[in-house]
Structure 1
Amino acid sequence: MIPFVREFEFEYGRADRVSPRIRRVVANNPGPFTFTGTGTYIIGRDAPGAGVAVIDPGPPDEAHLQALLNAVDGQTVTHVLVTHTHRDHAPLARPFVEAVGGAPILAAKPPARTIHASGSLDEEEDETFAPDAILTGGEQIRGDGWTLEAMATPGHASNHMAFILTEENALFPGDHIMGWSTTVVAPPDGDMTDYMASLDAVIARDFSTLWPTHGAPIREPVPFLAAYRAHRLEREAQVLARLAAGDRTIAEMVPTLYAAVDSRLWPAASLSVWAHLKALVRVGRVAADPEATLQAIYRAL
């Protein structure tokens, strides 16, 4: 069982000091894929004139924009970092930068085309998002008493970038890891092979704390990440078991695999099963006819 962390203290619009170098402001955009809402992180000292960085400004919400402006009042925003271009993370970046008088927006290269999986998910791209500088991973952004390192973590999104706060051995994993739920990996942009490789890379870094964009921090990452990884491998085994039992389509598998889940979430579950099947086809364990699509016919090899 994954030791989910679903309880944490917050108030919409309030800037909470959560560590010596981190403040968090939660946007009022709760939902089935955003939990309590988007958590925007402010990195740096809460002191007049201090230089700070902001991670994931969030959705286009005027109240959240004002809350962020209040939080950084009297300080200098030196960088705005975006983990990925989904609409609950990226749209407020440009309005926020314009309101504070300018700062570079840094992120991985946005997808070349609109590739969101489904209108039923909050996973659609902010098609207008354009960073000022492109990150590929490994870059270090230095500020007033803090250092952030970009860490490429594709999987949830092809352009997903996490950020390491070196001084606290902490990771801002965006949506790659969430404390309240497993992460949606939704093709065509989401990729399970990439996701598992990124998860292994995060595990190998042995972080002290994870600060997801949605929900509470994960303060015991080792057992949490081990369970997170085991869950994905178990789901893969369950997909193979359904093929062995005679299921041939994703639509046949989902009601059994997700019997305990609200059926309104089955469309999202179907995308997760699709991601697993695409990965299994890639390594030659499953065949798809005619190819690995959401509607394909599958069989185990």
Structure 2
Amino acid sequence: MTLYRLSPLVRRVTAPNSNLMTGPGTNSYLVGNRELALIDPGPAIPSHIDQLLTFCGDRLRWILVTHTHPDHSPAAKQISNVTGAKMIGCVMADDGHQDRTFEVEENLNHGQLLESPEFILEAIHTPGHVANQFCFLLQEEGMLFSGDHIMQGSSVVIIPPSGNMAAYIRSTRHLMNYSINTIAPGHGDLLNNPAGVLEQIVNHRLQREQRVIEALRHLGESGMDTLLKHVYSDVSTDLLPMAKLSLWAHLLKLEEDGVAQKKIAQHWAFGEERWVLLP
């Protein structure tokens, strides 16, 4: 694992947890030079924790997590125990995907500032991928640490009920109001065209939503598996289980918008959710 300097105030180390969902691995970011904030310490892999402790030395003061999924926050507790650094983030009810070792004295709030003599980090609540997702904006450099709200090279999976497509789109549009020069994602390399990236994300989600509407119009009342084949025909087979979760999120948004309606087909052995376009 190598420590890369990205800017005068930011360095990055990537955890050795690369796979289909994490890409090259989870990015951990060190902000500051004299006093350090560690953003997303990542999974509790001993070699990764040892490297972070070596890089931080005795300068670590804060451990921030963008959200408490198992590839982003589990190392926080162990690093905090060794260094005494304060853990900062937002804890939510366990939806089956949460790191339950992460603890805070008080949940993070939107707009909250973490200030040091060198830098200011602003917390921006960006629910959508999951309800407790926050981005952090380094005001001195306009660098946005996006966690899993934005990733390089792939779409973020939205997993209901804690994930919400309508909230995801609203959060992405809200980020357009900030002065962002660079996006430092939870997975992948820096993104240097933030305005274009944010616009592309919103457009992609709305285009996919339109495909859901068109599929319902063409097929009539349909189950998820049938819709999946039509809406995500451009997605490789190994990604279809994750695409099905995002499809569910799209359908829930359309239901909230009054465009589609969920039905239960009672004649199936266990009942099946089926969806229909409203007139």
Shorter-chain TM-score bucket reads over 0.9
- Tell me the alpha carbon deviations over residues 138-184 of structure 1, each in whole angstroms, 9 at most, x when there is no partner: 11101130110111000001111110101011110100011121111
Q: Verify the 8 A CA contact 1:56 1:83 in the aligned structure 2.
A: yes
Identity of aligned pairs, percent? 35
Aligned match of 2:70 in 73, 83, 87? 87
Q: Residues 274 and 142 of structure 1: is their aligned pair in 2 closer, same or farther, counting only changes over 3 Å?
A: same
Deviations, residues 161-208 of structure 1 (Å, cap 9, x unaligned): 110101011110100011121111111210011111100111221411
**Conservation of the 8 A alpha-carbon contact between 1:85 and 1:129:** yes
User: Aligned equivalents of 1:69 and 1:249: distance in 2?
Assistant: 49
Aligned residue for 1:65, secondary structure, equals: helix
Structure 1 residue 111 corresponds to structure 2 residue 121: no
Structure 1 residues 1-301: aligned runs within 5 Å: 13-45=1-33, 50-73=34-57, 75-100=58-83, 102-108=84-90, 110-112=91-93, 114-116=94-96, 124-247=97-220, 248-290=222-264, 295-301=272-278
Query: How far off its partner does 1:295 sit?
Result: 4.4
Aligned match of 1:9: none
Q: 2: distance between equivalents of 1:225 and 1:44?
A: 26
Q: TM-score, normalised by structure 2?
A: 0.94
Structure 1: which 5+ residue stretches go unaligned?
1-12, 117-123
Q: Is the 8 A contact 2:264 2:272 kept in 1?
A: no
Unpaired stretches in structure 2, ≥5 consecutive residues: 266-270
CA distance in 2, matches of 1:261, 1:194: 24
Deviations 1:39-67 (A, max 9, x none): 1000001xxxx111000000010010011
Q: Partners of 2:261 and 2:214 in 1: how far apart?
A: 15
Amino acid at match of 1:231: H
Measured in 1, the distance between the counterparts of 2:7 and 2:233 equals 40
Which residue is equivalent to 2:268? none
Letter in 2 for 1:138: G
Measure the CA separation in 2 of the matches of 1:80 and 1:129.
11
CA distance in 1, matches of 2:247, 2:31: 37
In structure 2, what is the Cα distance between the partners aligned to 1:215 and 1:249?
34
RMSD, aligned α-carbons? 1.5
- Please tell me whether the aligned partners of residues 104 and 133 of structure 1 are also in contact (alpha carbons under 8 angstroms): no
Letter aligned with residue 35 of structure 2: G
Structure-1-length-normalised TM-score? 0.87
Quick one: higher RCO (CA 8 Å, sep 6+), 1 or 2? Answer: 1
Instruction: Report deviation, 1:131.
Output: 1.9
CA contact (8 A) 1:93 1:105 kept: yes
SS at match of 1:265: helix
Q: Is the 8 A contact 1:52 1:144 kept in 2?
A: no
Residue 155 of structure 1 contacts residue 185 of structure 1 at CA under 8 Å; is this kept in 2? Answer: yes
